[in-house]
Amino acid sequence: MPENMTHVPYYPGCTLKSKALGYERSAMDCARSLGFEMHEIEKWNCCGASFPLTKDNLMGLTAPTNILIETEQHCKERDIDAKLITLCSFCYNTLKRTDFAFREEPGKLKTLNEFLNREYKGNVTVIHYLEYLRDVIGFDNLSKMVKTDLSHLRVAPYYGCLLLKPQKELGLDDPEEPVILHDFLDALGCQVIDFPGQVDCCGAYLIMRNPDKVLELSHNILEEASEYGAQTIVTACPLCQSNLDQSEAVRGEMPILYFTQLLAVALGLETEQHQFESHCIDPKSLISSCKKFKEFSDAK
Amino acid sequence: MLNENIAMVGDRTIPPKDARFISISIMGQEYKVPETLTIIKAMEYAGYQFKRGCGCRGGICGACGTFYRIQGDHNLYTGLACQTVVQPGMNLAQIPFFPANRADHVDLHLEKMPPDERIATLYPEIFKCVACGTCTRTCPMGIDVMNYIALFKRGDILEGAKQSFDCIMCGLCVVRCPANISQMKVAMAARRLAATQLVPRSKVTKDRAKLVREGRYEAMLAELGQMDTDKLKEIYVSREREPNLSEPGEWMPKDQSHL
């Protein structure tokens, strides 16, 4: 399999290199097992973490534009599809919206190219890892690769904001009634807990200024998920994970996982490097309750 | 206007014979200077005497960072005054010094902190970087300044320290940064932290430091201290030197009494 592995350029973002190492490692391990290899682009900077909301503020677009330029070069050198995969919701949101802004208003790109004294041709498609699973691998195919029995697990999908909104610019899924994580969890064979708080805001970067408010907002989400019977929550966003996890440490014992960490368990991969120990609520006992299907249990 | 016949005046400026005169502007004042001079020599030719803004004259001390434009070109260029040759229509100003933020990076309270957190604590302004790349386009040493700041932001202090290694602290990136980051100072702190905490320690250095501390060289130093100047000069001139291109560890001096 490694021979014909699809080469997919990958933008990690700062958090995945520091606080969310487990997210990156699990995603990369799963990718390899699913037949694609995520290749970090050679040179990258912080995406800026927030898309500028003042329309004329092009300075806020310089960071994502530099990333798109590096991606374009990476792909050109290798003669591959200019498709950039991301994991962090913040990075996905910022890069995708920048790309959208350039498609809508090419004048902005012209100004930025002149300012940066570099050239972005506008050829990169920014996608989320979930999107790759849904549209390239396919959830049906994914379900056939599951090696661990998760049928007893009651998992609540939590989307947060930046993965879905604004829909017009991101276009990943419905912002109020999303299904992509539901379908993903379905494919893994676990019980999907559909709860109303799945698209509520966790408080995001208010954690720096007003941690009490964040604990309150996250607490509500956790309470709701618990009431609906969830044993664990999965998310795609490092900040949601961190806020929910910290809030849960005050409230209860429900582990908050990255969706890729659960995917790694489902695919029967070695998860020692996936940093479960860095979570406030240790998911190990929950994970160890998941056994491989008989036909895989003896396979080395 | 300067008299074009006095081509040989000016401190240490020896214009080539038959050099043509070109017109340049130094801090808004126009001068005619012989072509082929470096900026620093052209300025001296024009009558400037340097107390600041000039150091090694070899492109390595970082004292003579200079901004310039060329008549009719909106772009801003940078160079070291001792390395950059004057061009017709050059409009230049040297920046001998620019205020930079140097945090106290030997603060004992921070000593236990891992290097990545320490850099983030000492220089939180790096997180204001919007990746505009102006610093990279400014650097006269061709360092990708923006990229090493990006590396520090994500905690890769060792790689950032390596990538900033050619920095000569001219400070031109600091002048231009719209986020008010003092890139050169951040990188200096990072290189120090990398050297003390991240790079594997060399056993040879450790052994030598032990010898120094034990007083192995005290007598030799005392002897040199007493020596008269002529004798000192003599032994300096006749000293054994490692050839410039010898492989590491290959060369040994004939006199090994100091090792």
What confidence tens digit (pLDDT) does each residue in B124-182 have?
999 999 999 999 999 999 999 999 999 999 999 999 999 999 999 999 999 999 999 99
Spell out the CATH class of B21-94. Answer: alpha beta
Does the CB of B153 have a partner CB in chain A at under 8 Å? Answer: yes
Judged by CB atoms closer than 8 Å, whether chains meet at B133 and A14 is answered as no
* Average pLDDT value for residue range A29-57: 94
Does the CB of B144 have a partner CB in chain A at under 8 Å? Answer: yes
Query: Quick one: CATH architecture of A139-294?
Result: 3-Layer(aba) Sandwich (3.40)
- Nearest residue of B to residue A66, measured between CA atoms: B131
**Residue B10 confidence (pLDDT) above 50:** no
Q: Structural domain boundaries of chain B?
A: 21-94, 108-198
Chain B residues closer than 8 Å to A48 by CB: 130-131
Looking at this predicted complex, what is its ipTM? 0.87
* Average pLDDT value for residue range A139-156: 97
* Average pLDDT value for residue range A232-255: 96
Chain B residues closer than 8 Å to A60 by CB: 130
Query: Are the folds of A2-129 and A139-294 the same?
Result: no
Residue A2: predicted pLDDT: 53
Label residue B73 exposed, middle or buried (CB < 10 Å: 0-12, 13-18, 19+): exposed
**Residue B250 confidence (pLDDT) above 70:** yes
Q: Which CATH number fits domain A2-129: 1.20.120.1770, 1.20.1050.140, 3.90.245.10, 1.10.287.130?
A: 1.20.1050.140
Put simply, whether the predicted model's pTM sits higher than 0.95 gets the answer no
DSSP class per residue in A195-247: -GGGGS---TTHHHH-HHHHHHHHHHHHHHHHHTT-SEEEES-HHHHHHHHHH
Q: What is the pLDDT of residues B15-59, one digit of tens each?
A: 777 889 999 999 999 999 999 899 999 999 999 999 989 999 999
Judged by CB atoms closer than 8 Å, whether chains meet at A45 and B153 is answered as yes
Does the CB of B114 have a partner CB in chain A at under 8 Å? Answer: no
From the list B116, B133, B150, the residue facing A46 with the nearest CB is B150
DSSP class per residue in chain A: -GGG-EEEEEE--TGGGTTTHHHHHHHHHHHHHHTEEEEE-SS-----SS---STT-GGGGHHHHHHHHHHHHHHHHHT---EEEE-SHHHHHHHHHHHHHHHH-HHHHHHHHHHHTS---S--EEEEHHHHIIIII-HHHHHHT--EE-TT-EEEE---STTT-SHHHH-SS-SSS--HHHHHHHHHTPEE---GGGGS---TTHHHH-HHHHHHHHHHHHHHHHHTT-SEEEES-HHHHHHHHHHHHHH----EEEHHHHHHHHTT---GGG-GGGSSS--HHHHHT-EE-HHHHS--
Quickly state the pLDDT bin for B201 (edges 50, 70, 90): confident
Judged by CB atoms closer than 8 Å, whether chains meet at A48 and B116 is answered as no
From the list B133, B137, B153, the residue facing A14 with the nearest CB is B153
Q: Structural domain boundaries of chain A?
A: 2-129, 139-294
Residue A7: predicted pLDDT: 95
